[in-house]
Structure 1
Amino acid sequence: MGLATEHAPAVWELSKDMAPALRKLGERGDIIRTMQKALGPQSGERDPMSFQIHDGAPETPIVGRVVDKHLSDELGENLTVVLDGIDGWTHHIAGIAPERLEDARSGSIIEIGPAEAAARPSDRTITAIAEDGIYRPSRHLEQAKFEGRVPGGDYEGYVDAHVRRLEALRRAGIVERIDADQWRIPDDLVSRAAAYVAGRDRQSSVRVLSPVDLGKQIGSDGATWLDRRLVHGETTGLAPVGFGHQVREAMDQRREHHIERGDATRSRDGRIFYRRSLLATLREREVARVGAEMAERKALPFRAAPDGESVSGKFTGTVQLSSGKFAVVEKSHEFTLVPWRPVIDRQLGREVMGIVQGGSVSWQLGRRRGPNL
């Protein structure tokens, strides 16, 4: 190990780094045992050399299933996640903010990547839009529509992204939310936001790709992570061993499931053709089924919200489906389920209004609503 040198028979010099090196080696052994325990029966099939321990955020994105998550410190400010990657490695990643793993459960498929860049154009845009230190989302929306430079024309979604950024900065004590349409912005917002991100640069970015495990995805009536990989022909990055091999097998089983259900056909040459707009069709099926089940419990009729329709009512909660997370919007005589977005969370228990567009919702928040709403 290079921690001791023999100068003469029975005369040894111990390295000054011996104690910390042995301590680090012992900690690594403890971590590997934790990873083996998290893998359960599968641990015997895994080579300990395939265990990768990350000191901070991974340099490149890692996709895999959550096999364990636990507190990294006694204060409960950070979590550690053990991820069984599709790359054939088992990853141990510590120091993740709990809110980033809130929707991830054991078996969930997630992507963990490097920390977000410190410099953000959104911070500069917010500063430019603010007048006398006050940023107004409604003013930003008006200007965005006037300039017409937002890709895809999703102006509400564009402004919502800036509001989400402000929410993060509010939690850091950098900005202040006055009301739904007013934020107090410091003159040095850009530099303070950059310093804040730099101080958290070990924080990994986390994206939940599927809240349910592979087994439930195979027979699901919703649009799953496996479906997105099948439709787009994504087979790269799947190792022939470990979880990568399990994903390949699950994709094969999911493909056969679609053929049996008539959602896909196999040609004579073996090529697979999927139903047009398969993901949207599956999402609609699952929402209809879950909506009907909820209607029985609520004793309130469920009505699906078709694309292009305006929805309004009280935001009463969320429901996690294979197709994603959905918001529950209720009126006195009916309720509906619409795709959830983070910006809606702070409106819980309030009246909301939005337009369903392409499998998402453009929420119109912070505006004055008429008595009919």
Structure 2
Amino acid sequence: MPDDDFTPKLGSQGGKDGKKVVKYGGRILAASRLVGIKTGAKGGQRSRRFDGSRIGRGASMGRLLSSRDRLAGFRGRRAVVKASLIRLAGKGGQAARAHMRYIQRDGVTREGLPGELYGPETDRADGYDFLKRTAGDRHQFRFIVSAEDGAEYPDLKPYVRRLMTQVEQDLGTKLDWVAVDHFNTERPHTHIVLRGVDDRGDNLIIAREYIAHGLRERASELVTLDLGPRTDHEIEARLRHDVDQERLTAIDRRLIRRMDADRTVAATDNDPFQQSVAAGRLRKLKAMDLANDVGGGSYRLAEGLEDTLRRMGERGDVIRLMQRELTARRLDRAGVEQVVSNDLREPLVGRVIQRGFSDEHRDRHYLLVDGVDGRVHYVDIGRGDATPVVPEGATVRITPSRIEAKQADRTVDVVARANGGRYSVDLHLRHDPNASEAFAASHVRRLEAMRRAGVGVDRQADGSWTIPGDHLARAEAYAQRQQRDRPVSLTVMSRSPVADLSVKGASTWLDQELAEGGHGTIRDVGFGREVRAALAARRQWLIEQQLADGERSTFRYCDGAIDNLRQRDLREAGKRIGTSLGKPFELARLGERIEGVIARRVDLESGSFTVVERSRDFTLVPWRDVLERNVGKSASGIVRATFIDWQFGRGRSGPTIF
């Protein structure tokens, strides 16, 4: 009975045949040593150093589930959980709103509809209301949960709710969360946003060990309960499939665990099937130059094997994605090369096929571009907010970014070293009397950007700055972070189909190609063939309009022809915008002073322009990205050949932008 005393009797050390029998307790100790649990017995593994991973709720459960995870067999169904902690201070609230819009975007359901937000008790949660509740929170957690066989669930909501209920029990508190299920990738997955407070309103601290191991183990055991353990047939079929894969597999991980100090491993195994797949995999690795046969059935695995196979797997996923998208759009042309450009080295001009997420967890995006060079490119464009949204079919120019520490960083460092580690505009002007105040102010803007990024510069109450001794190293690290977030710069050449540009009464990117005569690099295949046809039609139209003359080799524009086309485009846009504003349009002249309100941005074939609204009329001047944060403000400036000196504020005493 449950209340009766119970004393287990483990038996004697000797068996009936006189052979020594290992005690059950000894078997437990042996198993615990395999997973790194401190036992106190001789030969037991030492306890690891304190690293903070067990601070917070769920530490003991995370430790237990971590041990179970390492002792688990092959029959359990797997799940992947990606987790991140987001600080809500500063721009964190704005980022939280953007993330909420992102997970509810169009095309993520099985029917291609916008994502539906749900919670513990409702199938239609209010994202705005959730964000209002988080307004005073210090942080929030974001999880992406993907079960290996999640496609077998007709509805993921019950699975996710049971998972979060189990997490509540593990952490000992009620949780406030919302989630969205996504079915727009090969593996269905769920985005979960969890408030960073417990049921008492205190900051919710979850132990890293639970986040790293506990969540995954809970997600795996639930899907195993729902769909049942994997059968022998499923396990064997998966391993046979993995033998010839050019990516990191479970077989590779097992081989890596078994290799010795010289990276040598053999296929030998007590299980004939496991030995067979290990031998087959080692032969495949040898064919890929990732293992050497050292004789006697042993192989030496290559250095960096795991990273190499992981990169190969990612590249294979990208190529399959490209093939799928090209086939769906009937762009799978014979002889067209597919290029994975994770590190773009040369400028690329082409038509956007698709924009997507290469890593939803880190908000990294990619573009598929049908290039004028006759190749289809997969381009890593970094963080989503670092590159403007571009419609499919638009023609773009993508150039590699080269972000590095600036001369301004070196100047700040020199001034600070001469002034006891402090920098200010006054100290700068005192150090360099030839510098202007506007020039010094640009250094302050650089420091402010670094401060917001948490690089390590501090602004004092009097407006001066404390500059650390390793400022240049910090500036270099800041530049490298920017480079990772924005590896390329993107310019929209045209949002219209290239065939329509041949008769446009505007200055188009085709005119630039014709004027520069550099279209010899445009190959007569794929999108390049379409561009070549459009260039030929554009030449003929320009000659008919008496804006150019000559044949292909002697073709040239008439004087002022491109400026004439640009003014046509501006006047046509001015008529359209004037109808909505109820004001006439006036063309801006070189050297003219412009004063008015920065109203908005308009994109024309001749480029992007700023609507500057004045009391009686309005004008259009070239757009600069820096104007984005000044929309609605009064401004003044003088129209130069290639730029405008902008000053903001009624008194025009604000910063100047060149």
The question of a shared fold, defined as TM-score above 0.5 by the shorter chain, is answered with: yes
**Structure 2 spans left out of the alignment, 5+ residues:** 1-243, 252-265, 269-274, 286-304, 654-658
- Residues 152-189 of structure 1 show CA distances to partners (whole Å, capped at 9, x for unaligned) of xxxx9x999878866764653447899xxx89574554
Of 197-206 and 336-345, deviating more is: 197-206
Structure-2 change in CA distance of 1:172 and 1:255 (3 Å) = farther
- Secondary structure at the counterpart of residue 346 of structure 2: coil
2:472 is matched with 190
Offset of 1:367 from its aligned partner? Answer: 8.7
Separation in structure 2 between the aligned mates of residue 252 and residue 160 of structure 1, nearest angstrom:
49
Q: Which residue of 1 aligns with 2:72?
A: none
- Pair member with larger Rg: 2
Matched, 1:58 2:344: yes
How has the CA–CA distance of structure 1 residues 338 and 2 changed in structure 2, closer, same or farther, with 3 Å as cutoff?
closer
2:594 maps to amino acid: V
Task: Note the C-alpha offset of 1:337.
Answer: 0.8
Q: String of CA shifts for 1:49-75, please: whole Å, max 9, x gaps.
A: x11123x32133322221111122334
Task: Name the structure, 1 or 2, with higher relative contact order (CA <8 Å, separation 6+).
Answer: 1
Q: Say if 2:319 is the partner of 1:32.
A: yes
Map 1:301-320 onto structure 2 (within 5 A): 301-320=584-603
Q: CA RMSD in A?
A: 4.0
Q: Does 1:134 align with 2:441?
A: no
Whole-Å separation in 2 of the counterparts to 1:90 and 1:121 = 37
Corresponding residue of 2:179: none
The two structures have a TM-score, normalised by structure 2, of 0.46
Task: State whether residues 135 and 185 of structure 1, in contact with CA within 8 Å, keep that contact through their aligned partners in structure 2.
Answer: no
Contact 1:338 1:360 in 2 (8 A): no
The Cα offsets for residues 115-168 of structure 1, whole Å up to 9 and x where unpaired, read as 4142332433455678953359x979x95679xxxxxxxxx9x99987886676
1:95-106 equivalence runs, <5 A? 96-106=382-392
Structure 1 match to 2:65: none
> Percent of aligned pairs with the same residue?
31
Tell me if structure 2 keeps the 8 A contact 1:36–1:43: no
CA distance change for structure 1 residues 201 and 327 in 2, over 3 Å: closer, same or farther? closer
Describe the superposition over 1:307-346 as per-residue Cα deviations: whole angstroms up to 9, x where unpaired: 1101011111110111111111112221111101122222
Shift of 1:231: 0.8
Looking at structure 2, the residues matched to 232 and 251 of structure 1 have their Cα atoms a distance apart, in angstroms, of: 12
CA contact (8 A) 1:129 1:135 kept: no
> Which residue identity lines up with residue 258 of structure 1 in the other structure?
L
Choose which of 566, 573, 579 in structure 2 pairs with 1:296: 579
1:237-276 matches, cutoff 5 A: 237-266=521-550, 271-276=554-559
Q: Tell me the residue number matched to 2:514.
A: 230
Residue correspondence of structure 1 range 117-128 to structure 2 within 5 A: 117-125=403-411
Structure 1 position 6, deviation (Å): 11
Could you tell me which of 348, 368, 386 is aligned with 1:82?
368
Alignment TM-score, normalising by the size of structure 1: 0.77
Distance 1:115 1:305, change over 3 A: closer
CA distance in 2, matches of 1:282, 1:176: 50
2:494 is matched with which residue?
211
1:346 and 2:633 are equivalent in the alignment:
no
Structure 1 residue 112 and structure 2 residue 398: aligned?
Answer: yes
Q: Go from structure 1 to structure 2 and tell me whether the alpha carbon gap of 1:109 and 1:15 turns closer, same or farther (over 3 Å shift).
A: same
Work out whether residues 396 and 493 of structure 2, in 8 Å CA contact, stay in contact via their aligned partners in 1.
yes
User: Corresponding residue for 1:286?
Assistant: 569
- Compare the two structures and name the one with the higher strand fraction: 1
Number of equivalent positions: 350
